[in-house]
Chain A
Amino acid sequence: MPKITFISYDGVEHVVDAENGASVMNAAIDNLVTGIDADCGGECSCATCHVYVNKKWMEIVGTPQDREEEMLDLNPERESNSRLSCQIPVRDELDGLVVRVPEFQM
């Protein structure tokens, strides 16, 4: 199972075992990582699972698709390494992934 590190806004690290096929958002929720709300349940329609992907990982993780992009676009704290974690499927290549959880979800 790939390991994913979530770093909260105050610097606390939370390393979880993630399931292939589920999303990075699922990995957070299932492991009680705080700071990710996932109000819409993973449907790319609430933007409350926002994370900042460690920049070294962006090429492997990839950039947002259209629907995700339009949701991220409304977030005033969006950065170039922003992703909605419900749209990142977990796979072996993401083993060691590091993401930062924002202080606020919108």
Chain B
Amino acid sequence: MSEHAVSVVKLSAQAQTDPQDVPLDQIDVSDPTLFESDRLWGFFERLRNEAPVHYLKDSFFGPFWSVTRFADIQFVDKHHETFSSEPTVLLGDQPEDFTLINFIQSDPPLHDEQRRAVQDVVAPRNLTELEPIIRERVQNILDGLPVGDTFNWVDEVSIELTTQMLAILFDFPFEDRRLLTHWSDVAIATPELTGSDAVTEEERRVEMGVCLDYFTRLWREREHQPPKFDLISMLIHDENTKDMVDNPMEYLGNLLLLIIGGNDTTRNSISGGVVALNQNPDQYQKLRENLSLIPNMVSEIIRWQTPLAHMRRTAKVDTELGGKQIKEGDKVVMWYVSGNRDPEAIDRPDEFIIDRPNARHHLSFGFGIHRCMGNRLAEMQLRVVWEEISKRFHTVELVGEPVRVRSNFVRGYSDLPVRVHRI
């Protein structure tokens, strides 16, 4: 297999080692180059089999527990009183002098108050109204693609579509929408937060300041207007969140949650579907012969891609898990990407099977009170994308190696060189 030249240079020593040759207690799945190089699988398999609740004493992110089996992950996710989402859901800690607050990394009651304020915007009932708008945008994007030329699917389709979607949800000025992409890309892309090398902490804060200023201006423009159906207006008019603009770390925190959660993830699932189908041409042919499989395929794509590799919790009390003693304050990391490949929970989990039974049974949206509130919106976007692709192109052909993002949190692509072939 040919390697992307730059990736070989940047791999960690561990990523260049056979997983069998790394001592069990030194396996470090926080290593972002494992994800960038797509070499994570053998390491997670060892953890599932040999140390399903695994303690790493020493890492760039400090000591942490890795939970890698589906059932154990579901247990941790469910028991939020024991495994808190505060102060952060990332393996990498937030800086003390720049600590964002939002409902994904809050326990009840704050979590419930803030989630309720915004969840209507993505409630399935409202998606039926959004669908024709999304479909029209998808059609425009697909019809504008350079047929016969090689182009980057990530930029032309995945980013373009999800950014437009996010701009609708925020009622964000359409011509500035790529700012949303940019802020999503840099918000957590430091070495300390996710192992990324995209920006330094200083650079990140500058960009987050710009983001906060822009959204503060939008808040001020809308706060005396009647309620509208967009995320900012909903925050303004909900009793529990109407003063959020006065707490910048909370306003910015919730904005970034919605921007990353509602954008980065769907983007990488749109890209992931192209990769999965190209790596499994028999499945692609199965799709062409039976478009009614699209909804099931969407779930399978989301499982296979697992757009967010982990969610981290912090133990609120001493507790036991998988026979191990976890201490209050310990970091406990749920590796969704591993649980989604656990043969004890999912049959032939490493295979991409578009008509897989029980395809909705996966960890990518999480479980429990924090379960992804945008999950139906994500599924709807993916379904519409594949419905419209199938009307136009018999193949979206991957013509080069995918370039993956360096991050232990985001499982994504920055480059998918493709060519589309008309029906």
Chain A interface residues (CB < 8 Å from chain B): 37-41, 43-48, 67, 70-71, 73-74, 76-77, 103-106
Residues of A near B120 (CB, < 8 A) are: 76
B74 to A: closest C-beta gap in Å: 6
In the complex, the answer to whether A43 meets B360 with C-beta atoms within 8 Å is no
9 interchain residue pairs of minimum CB distance: A104-B124, A45-B367, A39-B360, A45-B78, A45-B368, A40-B367, A76-B123, A41-B361, A37-B360
Q: Which residues of A contact B367 (CB under 8 A)?
A: 40, 43, 45-46
Residue contact B112 to A45, C-beta cutoff 8 Å? no
CA distance A77 to B123 in the complex (A): 9
Q: Does B45 sit within 8 A of A, measured CB to CB? A: no
Q: How far is the CA of A74 from the CA of B109 in the complex (A)?
A: 12
CB distance from B111 to the nearest CB of A (A): 9
Q: How many residues of B contact A (CB 8 A)?
A: 23
Q: Which residues of B contact A40 (CB under 8 A)?
A: 74, 361, 367
Give per-residue flags for B103-119: 1 if the beta carbon is below 8 A from chain A beta carbons, else 0: 00000100010011001
Q: Does B369 contact A (CB under 8 A)?
A: yes
Cα distance A103–B376 in the bound complex, in angstroms? 13
B371 at the interface (CB under 8 A from A): yes
Q: Determine how close the nearest CB of chain B comes to the CB of A44; give it in whole angstroms.
A: 7
Separation of A39 and B376 alpha carbons in the complex (Å): 12
Which residues of chain A have C-beta atoms less than 8 A from B375's C-beta?
A: 106
**21 A-B contact pairs sorted by A residue (CB < 8 Å):** A37-B360, A39-B360, A39-B362, A40-B361, A43-B74, A45-B74, A45-B78, A45-B368, A47-B371, A70-B369, A71-B368, A73-B112, A74-B112, A74-B119, A74-B373, A103-B125, A104-B123, A104-B125, A104-B376, A106-B123, A106-B375
B119, A45: Cβ atoms closer than 8 Å: no
* Chain A residues closer than 8 Å to B77, beta-carbon distance: 45
Residues of A contacting B361 in the complex (Cβ-Cβ under 8 angstroms)? 39-41
Q: Which of B78, B115, B124, B376 contacts A74 (CB 8 A)?
A: B115
Q: Is the beta-carbon distance between B124 and A45 smaller than 8 angstroms?
A: no
Interchain CB contact under 8 A, A45 and B371: yes
The A-contacting residues of B in range 136-157, CB under 8 angstroms, are none
Cross-interface CB contact of A67 among B78, B112, B360, cutoff 8 Å: B78
Q: CB-CB contacts of B71-109 with A at 8 A, as 1s and 0s?
A: 000100110000000000000000000000000000010
